[in-house]
């Protein structure tokens, strides 16, 4: 075990988790009661470390760049990449849903009900990015607010202008300490993967084989198309690296995001993976936390596929204009989605409402949301990793 790489250990944990999940089918209560809590402990540890990591790594990244203009250039490249790939993602999601819509099963929609949680309005999403208190964003782990804090403080340290000031040294050394702490926690990830995934397989196994198989298949085909076509092409066209090498190096993060369904929880593993594949420290520490918060290609795909699925279950034909509206709102919804399990489904309500589809339809897919979620989280974090490698490469040039 000691000599095996972490990636191999995580992979073995994945296989064991699926096998034992199948064995425990019918006894899902056991998995939920005795295995899942250990997965929760591991996720808790990740959540504990993620806020200081984001805060200190972004600050330390900015200070290392020493130049506000340079930060602006990296920021602009990152945001353009994020918007462009999300556009492709939603196009693939809608096209995939549309191709499948004839073979989607007609489910009974007469007795379903879903109480949508209030989805925030666009303006309130924007207002909520800015913190009104120094400690609240940290204690409530509001990632966007933490990012704004880190940017403001990082810029201020540069502007104060003293080389090697105590503030700089403190930030760098805290950054190192939290990174070390993260490394320790990551050593537990094979156990975390096992304990998170086994109960999911035990509980959901039969449902996946049931009538929802077609939408799940449509979503997963679109996820795969986006990952293996769009991302591979980006890696190739911009000469970043061989896509096969990329997917090999990125495997631990993919497996982990698949079992945890949390982009934010996967952030530490994704950061260390990207660093190993050659992304620079400054870029990784800036691009990945931002991506884990706002770049959700998988979530956009899922929202496209599910909106079309729900429409076809209700016998509603969507017009081209409605599909364009779905694309626009799904882009916004994916930006507003938090990188935690299940967040994308809450935002699906916003997409459905935008074209007047019944929000109750969410109940049709809610039962297997976790299965959708695992796949969409893999796509979400893969998009971030490709961006980190791409921007690193362009900065080096
Ligand atoms: N679970 C996803 C993530 O963490 C968000 C979602 O539910 O779509 O990236």
The owner of tokens 């503030």 is: 167
Burial 279-298 (b: 16+ CB within 10 A, else e): bbbbbbbbbbbbbbbbbbbb
Residues 151, 143 contacting (CB under 8 angstroms): no
Answer whether residue 6 shows pLDDT above 80: no
> Residue 376 — pLDDT band, cuts 50, 70, 90?
very high
Q: Among 278, 291, 289, which residue's Cα sits nearest to residue 250?
A: 278
Please give the Cα distance from 54 to 105 (Å, whole number): 43
Q: How many CB atoms lie within 10 A of CB 47?
A: 14
Atom index in ligand 1 nearest the CA of residue 340 equals 4
Ligand 1 mean position, distance from CA 341 (Å): 5
Burial 349-388 (b: 16+ CB within 10 A, else e): bbbbebbebbbbbbbbbeebbbbbbbbbbbbbbbbbbbbb
Answer whether residue 209 shows pLDDT above 70: no
> Residue 121 — pLDDT band, cuts 50, 70, 90?
confident
* 222: Cβ contacts below 8 Å, ≥ 6 apart: 92, 93, 95, 96, 97, 301, 304, 305
Residue 107 is predicted with a pLDDT of 59
Ligand 1 mean position, distance from CA 264 (Å): 9
Q: How many CB atoms lie within 10 A of CB 120?
A: 14
Ligand 1 mean position, distance from CA 174 (Å): 29
> Residue 119 — pLDDT band, cuts 50, 70, 90?
low
Answer whether residue 336 shows pLDDT above 80: no
Residue 80 is predicted with a pLDDT of 93
- 5 by Cβ neighbours in 10 Å (0-12 / 13-18 / 19+) ranks as exposed
* 332: Cβ contacts below 8 Å, ≥ 6 apart: 122, 125, 350
Answer whether residue 129 shows pLDDT above 90: no
Atom index in ligand 1 nearest the CA of residue 302 equals 8
Q: Which of 261, 265, 302, 336 to mutate to test the pocket of ligand 1 (most atoms within 8 A of CB)?
A: 261
Answer whether residue 5 shows pLDDT above 80: no
> Residue 212 — pLDDT band, cuts 50, 70, 90?
confident
Which residue would you say has higher pLDDT here, 80 or 368? Answer: 80
End-to-end CA distance of the chain: 40
Closest-CA residue, ligand 1 atom 6, reads 344
> Residue 139 — pLDDT band, cuts 50, 70, 90?
very high
The two tokens of residue 304 are: 């496209």
Q: At what angle do helices 369-396 and 243-260 cross, to 10 degrees?
A: 140
Q: pTM, whole model, 2 decimals?
A: 0.81
Residue 317 phi, psi dihedral angles, 5° rounding: -95, 125
> Residue 391 — pLDDT band, cuts 50, 70, 90?
very high
Ligand 1 mean position, distance from CA 247 (Å): 20
Residue 313 is predicted with a pLDDT of 83
Question: What is the rounded average pLDDT for all residues in the chain?
Answer: 86
Residue 108 is predicted with a pLDDT of 56
- 111 by Cβ neighbours in 10 Å (0-12 / 13-18 / 19+) ranks as exposed
Answer whether residue 111 shows pLDDT above 60: no
The owner of tokens 């530490």 is: 268
Ligand 1 mean position, distance from CA 37 (Å): 21
Mean pLDDT of 142-171: 87
Q: Which of 296, 347, 348, 379 to mutate to test the pocket of ligand 1 (most atoms within 8 A of CB)?
A: 296
Ligand 1 mean position, distance from CA 2 (Å): 32
Closest-CA residue, ligand 1 atom 3, reads 339
Please give the Cα distance from 113 to 362 (Å, whole number): 8
Ligand 1 binding pocket, CB closer than 6 Å:
261-263, 296, 299, 337, 339-344, 373, 376-377, 380
Please give the Cα distance from 359 to 229 (Å, whole number): 32
Ligand 1 mean position, distance from CA 323 (Å): 22
DSSP state letter for 101 = T
> Residue 186 — pLDDT band, cuts 50, 70, 90?
confident
* Helix H or strand E segment including 104: none
pLDDT digits (tens, 9 = 90+) for 269-322: 999 999 999 999 888 988 998 898 889 999 999 999 999 999 888 888 888 888
Q: Among 261, 295, 262, 228, which residue's Cα sits nearest to residue 368?
A: 261
Answer whether residue 114 shows pLDDT above 90: no
Q: Which of 219, 300, 339 to mutate to test the pocket of ligand 1 (most atoms within 8 A of CB)?
A: 339
Residues 307, 352 contacting (CB under 8 angstroms): yes
Atom index in ligand 1 nearest the CA of residue 265 equals 4
Residue 278 is predicted with a pLDDT of 93
Mean pLDDT of 168-182: 89
> Residue 3 — pLDDT band, cuts 50, 70, 90?
low
Ligand 1 mean position, distance from CA 30 (Å): 26
Mean pLDDT of 86-93: 95
Q: At what angle do helices 143-160 and 281-294 cross, to 10 degrees?
A: 150
Which residue would you say has higher pLDDT here, 111 or 164? Answer: 164
Q: Among 390, 386, 389, which residue's Cα sits nearest to residue 378?
A: 386
pLDDT digits (tens, 9 = 90+) for 41-61: 988 887 788 788 888 888 888
> What is the length of the chain?
397
Among 17-21, 44-48, 78-82, 215-219, name the one with the lowest average pLDDT: 44-48
Q: Among 274, 273, 250, 254, which residue's Cα sits nearest to residue 263?
A: 254
Tell me what percent of the residues of the chain surpass a pLDDT of 90: 38
Residue 162 is predicted with a pLDDT of 76
Answer whether residue 234 shows pLDDT above 80: yes
Ligand 1 mean position, distance from CA 114 (Å): 20
Q: H helices within 101-142, ranges in order?
A: 122-127, 136-139
Residue 353 is predicted with a pLDDT of 83
Residue 118 is predicted with a pLDDT of 63
> Residue 123 — pLDDT band, cuts 50, 70, 90?
confident
Residue 116 is predicted with a pLDDT of 60
């Amino acid at each position: 075990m000691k000599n095996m790489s972490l990636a191999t250990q995580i992979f073995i944990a994945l296989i064991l988790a699926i096998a034992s999940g199948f064995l425990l089918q019918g006894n899902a209560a056991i998995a939920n009661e005795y295995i899942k809590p250990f997965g929760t402990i591991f996720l808790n540890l990740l959540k504990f470390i993620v806020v200081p990591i984001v805060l200190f790594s972004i600050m330390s990244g900015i200070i290392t760049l020493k130049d506000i203009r340079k930060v602006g250039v990296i920021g602009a490249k990152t945001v353009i990449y994020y918007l462009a790939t999300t556009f492709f993602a939603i196009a693939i999601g809608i096209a995939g849903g549309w191709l499948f819509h004839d073979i989607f099963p007609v489910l009974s929609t007469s007795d379903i009900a879903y109480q949508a949680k209030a989805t925030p309005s666009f303006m309130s999403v924007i207002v909520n990015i800015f913190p009104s208190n120094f400690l609240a964003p940290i204690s409530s782990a509001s990632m966007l607010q933490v990012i704004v804090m880190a940017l403001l403080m990082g810029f201020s340290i540069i502007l104060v202008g003293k080389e090697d000031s105590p503030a700089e040294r403190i930030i760098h050394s805290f950054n190192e300490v939290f990174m070390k702490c993260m490394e320790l926690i990551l050593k537990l990830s094979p156990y975390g993967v096992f304990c998170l995934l086994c109960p999911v397989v035990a509980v959901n196994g039969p449902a996946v084989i049931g009538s929802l198989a077609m939408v799940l298949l449509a979503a997963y085909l679109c996820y795969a198309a986006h990952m293996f076509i769009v991302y591979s092409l980006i890696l190739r066209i911009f000469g970043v690296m061989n896509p096969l090498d990329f997917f090999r190096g990125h495997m631990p993060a993919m497996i982990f995001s698949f079992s945890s369904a949390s982009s934010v929880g996967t952030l530490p593993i994704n950061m260390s993976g990207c660093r190993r594949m050659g992304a620079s420290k400054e870029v990784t520490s800036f691009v990945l936390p931002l991506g884990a918060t706002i770049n959700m290609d998988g979530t956009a795909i899922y929202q496209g596929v599910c909106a079309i699925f729900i429409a076809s279950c209700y016998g509603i034909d969507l017009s081209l204009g409605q599909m364009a509206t779905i694309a626009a709102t799904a882009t916004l919804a994916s930006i507003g989605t938090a990188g935690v399990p299940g967040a994308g489904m809450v935002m699906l309500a916003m997409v459905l409402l935008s074209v007047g589809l019944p929000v109750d339809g969410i109940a049709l897919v809610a039962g297997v949301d976790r299965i959708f979620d695992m796949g969409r989280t893999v796509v979400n974090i893969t998009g971030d990793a490709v961006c980190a490698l791409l921007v690193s490469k362009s900065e080096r040039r």
